[in-house]
Structure 1
Amino acid sequence: MDAFTAGLLQRIETTESDLTHARETGDDFLVEVEQAELDDLHRLAAEHGVEIGALSS
């Protein structure tokens, strides 16, 4: 796995964790921010053919 793929997968994993935390704490603004970030990361992964598999929520 190259550095780009590894970094992207790590960012997705971190963002998913941050999104879960925001939902658990009821921070609606942060939920929106983290969801937008996650959507962008998924788009980026798709554009570069990166399989996110089990990481996807």
Structure 2
Amino acid sequence: MDAFTAGLLQRIEATESDLTRAQETGDDFLAEVEQGELEDLQRLAAEHGVQLHPASTA
């Protein structure tokens, strides 16, 4: 796995974690921000042919 792919997957995992934490604490604004970031990262992954684990496709 190259550095780009590893870094992208790491960012997606961290963003998913941050999104979950925001949702659990009821921080709707932060949840929206994290959701947008996650969607951007998923789009970037798709554009570069990076396979995501199932939790990253929701």
Q: Give the alignment's TM-score, normalised by structure 1.
A: 0.95
Give the corresponding residue for 2:40: 40
| Misfit runs of 4+, over 3 Å | none
User: C-alpha distance in 2, partners of 1:4/1:54?
Assistant: 20
Task: Report the number of matched residues.
Answer: 57
RMSD: 0.9
User: C-alpha distance in 1, partners of 2:47/2:54?
Assistant: 18
Between the two proteins, what is the percent identity of the paired residues? 77
User: C-alpha distance in 2, partners of 1:11/1:53?
Assistant: 13
Give the corresponding residue for 1:9: 9
